[in-house]
Amino acid sequence: MIVKVRSHTVYQQKDGKYKCEVWYINENGETKRITRTDPSKTAINQFAKDYPNEEYYPVCTLNEFFEEVYKRILMDSAKNANYLKLVSIYNSQIRPVFGDRRMKSLKKSELISLFENMAEKICQGVVDDCYRLLERMFACYSEHKKPTDNPMRFIDCPESKIEKKAKRGYTPEELEKIFAVEDSINPETTRPKYMHGNAVKLMLLTDMKIGEALALTWADVDFKNNTITVKS
């Protein structure tokens, strides 16, 4: 994927044909080159126009930008649990709707419609996360372009119409029933029936979120002091 066009040069070769060389930076930060040769100067000039100098992310879909550019930014800046949550939100809420659309083609009205539809059926926390994710993606995309290229400008995050329900914890009796199921053994294999039974018990006993549990490593577990460090 072309992230940034550094320069393009058009010149006439000794054989009379015209040549265009385009130097660009890919998603890995490597400098690469594209060349094209044609007897027609008009054709070569048209080819060069597709790669204007200093053009960042010239042609890419939302999926391409997220996978090849923005996920790297998230990995460097977000903590593990937050990174997994944002990737999950993108895959479930944004990818199915706009994933294959070119970022240049997305309009403000379409994004407003997306948020309004989300506010009808999704809780405020997810709406806020989705809004911030798209806001930062387009800010990154349009950083080296005109401010008007960012369709997220002047879009306000809507309020969810889903009423927030009070969180109720499990009673000791309910926990006992859940643990009994998680600890059950398969008589045929003499192994636990449920592979992730211990993970479920960990989250229930510590009120840990699934993203926080998935982000745990052995380095976060202190057996000497019987503590777990949660990265939120």
Write down the pLDDT at residue 5. Answer: 73
Summarize pLDDT for 193-232 with one digit per residue, the tens.
887 888 888 888 888 888 888 888 899 999 999 999 987 6
- Give CA–CA dist 64/59, Å, rounded: 10
pLDDT band at 187 (very low <50, low <70, confident <90, very high): confident
User: Looking at residues 112-134, what average pLDDT do you find?
Assistant: 91
Q: Considering only CA atoms, which of 151, 105, 145, 106 is closest in space to residue 5?
A: 145
What is the pLDDT at residue 199?
87
What pLDDT was estimated at residue 11?
A: 78
Distances (CA, A) of 98 to 57, 80, 114, 120: 17, 25, 9, 18
- Rg (the chain; Cα; Å): 26
Q: How far apart are CA 25 and CA 69, in angstroms?
A: 12
Q: Give residue 1's pLDDT.
A: 66
139 has pLDDT over 60 = yes
| % residues pLDDT > 70 (the chain) | 85
Residue that wins the pLDDT comparison between 209 and 76: 209
A 10 A CB-CB count for 124 gives 16
Domain parsing of the chain, residue ranges:
2-49, 62-149, 172-228
Closest Cα to residue 2, out of 78, 46, 53? Answer: 53
> Which tens digit of pLDDT belongs to each residue from 84-110?
888 999 999 999 999 999 888 888 999
Q: In Å, how far are 36, 72, 137 from 103, measured between CA atoms?
A: 27, 18, 10
Residues 54 and 144: beta-carbon distance below 8 Å? yes
pLDDT of residue 23: 76
